[in-house]
A and B are shown apart, each in its own frame.
Chain A
Amino acid sequence: MVVPPERALVVSSPLARQKRRTAWLFLAPVLLTLAGIAGWPLARTIWFSLTDARLDALDSFDFVGLENYQFLLTDPDWWVAVRNTLVFAGISVTLETLLGIIIALVLNARMRGRGMLRAAMLIPWAIPTVVSAQMWGWMLHDQYGVINEILVWLGLIAEPVAWTAGHGTALAAVIAVDVWKTTPFLALLTLAALQLVPEELHEAAEIDGLGPVGRFFRITLPLIWPALMVAIIFRTLDALRVFDLMYVLTGNSRATASMSVYARQQLVDFQDVGYGSAAATGLFLVIALVTALFITFGRVRLGAEPGR
């Protein structure tokens, strides 16, 4: 990618200075909006987490220090939510990446109807999460679900399974729905990266006697790795804050509750703004930690200038 020749603009002429002033003027609305609706509420949430505020009386509360965090660290339900979230994010992102790569490789092959196939891939991505949760909730229904019907017919299970209610299967069901919904996203991003891999490299490797598998691991994968890594980071951060899927598919059930579900339940259902804010801040810290780990070990340069 070519970086626009900005050299001409660097010279600090009066014109350039005027331009910089205009730039800040143009930026001000966005920065003020974001400060107002993101920065300020985040600061308030962190502040609330140190108080005993209640939702029905948000203007009168007392400072309680780290008490909420002490409760949080000793609440087994919180740790179940942490475990659920990490298991969900880990497994679903891994499956989505693997499936996404396979689908992208298929889509990258020259064939008739590729455009149609790519369009079909966008359908799960565009369907609202709530709707996909409901659709799968119906397909996974314990008595009338089509999935039970098919599995019984195939002889894979003896009798219908209560997928979304069962202890071991509920989280698996949630993961399955998420994999269905977001694999297309990873597949399309991988496909975009694949199409930038020069054809000549493959031809050269083929002449050197490298098989298709070898070509993939020695040539394709290293070349698409940076793009793939960015997509994986986005997906992981998204998966860590998951809320809709669990809430719609299994309610506030402890077996699947994510950290977001837990925090919202405390905040809204139990009206405990102080404690709920502490849980929300906890989730914020977990996500910040994961981002830092990714950037350190994934060797990604987020925000790097394009083409540099």
Chain B
Amino acid sequence: MKRLAGRAAFFLLVLAIVAYTVFPFYWAVVSSLKGGSALFSVEAWPSAPEWSNYVAVFQEQPFGRNILNSVFVAGSVVALSLFLGVTAAFALGRVRFRGRATLLLVILGVSMFPQVAVLSGLFELIRALGLYNNLFGLTLSYLIFTLPFTVWVLTTYMRELPVELEEAAVMDGASPFVVLTRIFLPLMGPAVVTTGLLAFIAAWNEFLFALTFTLTDEMRTVPVAIALISGSSSFELPWGRIMAASVIVTVPLIALVLVFQRRIVSGLTAGAVKG
């Protein structure tokens, strides 16, 4: 009897945890499907679900363009940080040289300092390069936070590859570049996918730089577009449209996360716990 009560309590706890984590997203979906005044009545599922909010999101602002912007910025950030990260991780993970530990600490330190602390300096730099209100300006600035952890996580993975593989290749006269691209890179597949995914999510979600370094609606990324959605009057926000936009950008992320959940968890732990 006591055991049964314990199990029931445990089950309730699990249920509470699931409800807590999933409910806000569920509520966003429900609200996004309500048109007109239905939005202002609380019901668990809209009695007359409709897509009008989803249509309005794309009609009232260049939201399609915003999505493309985000895809471009996040994609280019991932490509650049993986390329730079893999080469740096090879040096940091496979070669012993003086100052290696210090370098790793410096790189980690970069990921810790606040984005606001570089805001004015970066603003000046981006304007000088002619990249203000330009997506390349965002790509460049996002490397600040994706590069450190890409290097850090890839280094921890790189360290664990067996040294015999490398020795055999070097005996055969392979150059370090060949060792990296032909031998290590194929083995690093999972690690590269994981770090790439984490970098993508970080870049996709970034707000402060995107808000500060872009000016026109056409250059906004998705988070800025969602934060700045406003209605006809400044007092009433178009909540239905905001929820629709939120659902649109979140669904692909959730799909990615569900497909790659094991990899993501291992990447997060490699980044933080093993660090």
Q: Do A and B bind each other?
A: yes
Interface residues of A, Cβ cutoff 8 Å to B: 1-6, 8-10, 15, 19-20, 22-24, 26-27, 29-31, 33-34, 36-38, 40-45, 48, 53, 55, 58, 103, 106, 109, 111, 115, 117-136, 138-139, 141, 143-144, 146, 149, 180, 184-185, 188-189, 192-193, 227, 230-231, 234, 237, 240-241, 243-244, 247-248, 259-260, 263-264, 267-268, 273, 276-277, 280-281, 283-284, 287-288, 291, 302-303, 305-306
Closest Cβ–Cβ distance, residue B272 to chain A (whole Å): 5
Name the one of B143, B167, B254 contacting A33, with C-beta atoms under 8 angstroms: B143
Distance to closest chain A CB from B111 (angstroms): 9
User: Shortest distance in angstroms between B147's beta carbon and chain A's nearest beta carbon?
Assistant: 6
B151 located at the interface, meaning its Cβ lies under 8 Å from any Cβ of chain A in the complex: yes
CB <8 Å contact, A144 and B40: yes
With an 8 A cutoff between CB atoms, is B63 at the interface? Answer: no
Contact A188 B243 (CB under 8 A): no
State whether B95 touches A23 (Cβ < 8 A): yes
- Nearest CB in chain B to that of A3: its residue: B159
B208 proximity list for chain A (CB < 8 A): 243-244, 260, 264
Other-chain contact of B163, A5, A135, A180, A263 (Cβ < 8 Å): A5
Q: A129-B207, A138-B242 are contacts. A41–B122 as well, Cβ < 8 Å?
A: yes
Contact A4 B159 (CB under 8 A): yes
Q: Cα distance A42–B103 when bound, in Å?
A: 18
Chain B residues with CB below 8 A from A268, complex form? 212
Let me know if B250 is at the binding interface, CB within 8 A. yes
Smallest distance from the beta carbon of A211 to chain B beta carbons, Å? 14
Do A227 and B273 form a contact, CB below 8 Å, given A58-B124, A188-B265, A284-B114?
A: yes
Cα(A3)–Cα(B274), bound, Å: 12
Q: Which residues of A contact B58 (CB under 8 A)?
A: none
Q: Mark out the residues of chain B between 68 and 110 whose CB falls within 8 Å of any chain A CB in the assembled complex.
A: 84-85, 87-88, 90-92, 94-97, 101, 103-105, 107-108, 110
Contacts of A15 in B (CB 8 A): 170
The residue of chain B having its C-beta at the shortest distance from the C-beta of A276 within the complex is B120
Least Cβ–Cβ distance between A77 and chain B, in angstroms: 16
**When the two chains form their complex, are residues B24 and A23 in contact, meaning their CB atoms are under 8 A apart?**
no
Q: Is A109's CB under 8 angstroms from B176's CB?
A: no
B159 in contact with A189 (CB, 8 Å): no
User: By the criterion CB–CB under 8 Å, are B223 and A130 in contact?
Assistant: yes
Specify the chain A residue showing the minimal Cβ separation from B180. Answer: A26
Q: Which of B14-22, B48-56, B186-194 contacts A (4 or more CB under 8 A)?
A: B14-22
For the complex, give the distance between the alpha carbons of A65 and B115 in Å: 24
User: What are 18 pairs between A and B in contact, CB < 8 Å?
Assistant: A2-B160, A4-B159, A19-B95, A31-B88, A45-B120, A103-B17, A128-B222, A128-B226, A133-B227, A134-B242, A135-B243, A138-B27, A192-B265, A234-B272, A276-B119, A280-B114, A287-B113, A302-B275
Q: Known contacts being A43-B121, A287-B114, is A135 close to B167, with CB within 8 Å?
A: no
> Inside 8 A of B92's CB, which chain A residues have their CB?
23, 27
| Size of the chain B interface, CB-CB below 8 angstroms | 100
User: Do A139 and B27 touch across chains, with their CB atoms under 8 A apart?
Assistant: yes
Q: Check A121–B21 contact: CB distance below 8 A.
A: yes
Given A15-B170, A23-B95, A284-B117, A8-B40 contact (CB < 8 Å) = no
Check: B261 CB closer than 8 A to any chain A CB.
yes
A30 pairs with B84, CB closer than 8 A: yes
**B107/A34 in contact, CB under 8 A:** yes
Closest to A300 in B: B275
Chain B 4-31 interface residues, beta-carbon cutoff 8 Å to A: 10, 13-14, 17-18, 20-22, 24-25, 27-28, 31
- For the complex of A and B, the 4 pairs showing the least CB-CB separation, nearest first, are A41-B121, A44-B121, A241-B114, A23-B91
Given contacts A26-B87, A244-B207, contact A6 B163 (CB under 8 A): yes
CB distance from A51 to the nearest CB of B (A): 10
Task: Assess whether B25 is in contact with A123, with CB atoms less than 8 Å apart.
Answer: yes
B1 sits at the interface (CB 8 A): no
Closest to B22 in A: A120
Q: Which residues of B contact A9 (CB under 8 A)?
A: 94-96, 163
* Chain B proximity of A95: nearest CB distance (Å): 13
Shortest CB distance A246–B (Å): 11
Query: What separation, in Å, do the CA atoms of A103 and B114 have in the docked complex?
Result: 29
Could you tell me the distance in whole angstroms from the C-beta of A278 to the nearest C-beta in chain B? 10
B121 touches A149 (CB 8 A): no
* With A24-B91, A30-B147: A37-B108 Cβ-Cβ less than 8 Å: no
Distance to closest chain A CB from B182 (angstroms): 15
